[in-house]
Structure formats: structure tokens, C-alpha cells
Amino acid sequence: MLVVTPWSSFWDHNYFSDLLPALGAILDTAAVRGAVSGIGVVTAIAGVVELTGLFLRTGRADDVAGRPDPSMEP
């Protein structure tokens, strides 16, 4: 949502922009729209990295769980 919304018509017609015209002028700049999109990209990448780590950790735990603990051998 954060990647696409700043560049859509939804961004131009929001409550805060109509309430405060000075804020609307700031929100309409390409720099602010780009910053919001950048936050969206960073958030999406962080989510993918976290999910990848979760899936890799789950796979490793299954492999290790089936093996005997080497410290318990006589």
C-alpha cells in the first residue's frame, strides 16, 4: 500500500490535505511521495527477509530434531 498509494488519486483526495492546505502542498511534493514509497519498499523487504529466516529456521529445526544429540552418546 505504501509503495503505490502516494502515486494514486487517493493520495490527492485525503482528509488532512483538505483540512490544512499548507499540509496538502507539502504532501503533494514528489519528495514526500517518494519518501513514503521508500518506507513501503523497506518494510516489504524487511518482511520478506523475516519470513525467509522463519522458513529456513523451521526447516533446520526439523532436520536437527530427528538426529540424536551427540553429547548424549557414551
Cell 540424536 belongs to which residue?
68
Total number of domains constituting the chain: 1
Cell 523487504 belongs to which residue?
45
Q: Give the domain extent around 35.
A: 5-65
Residue 70 lies in a domain: no
pLDDT at 15: 87
Instruction: Specify the DSSP class assigned to residue 5.
Output: G
Q: Which three cell numbers stand for residue 17?
A: 490535505
Q: Read off the pLDDT of residues 39-67 as tens digits, 9 standing for 90 and up.
A: 999 999 999 999 998 888 765 555 555 56
Q: What is the mean pLDDT of the chain?
A: 84
Residue 73 lies in a domain: no
Q: In what helix (H) or strand (E) does residue 49 lie, and over which residues does it extend?
A: helix 30-65
Beta strands in the chain (DSSP E): none
Is 33:7 a contact under the CB 8 Å cutoff? yes
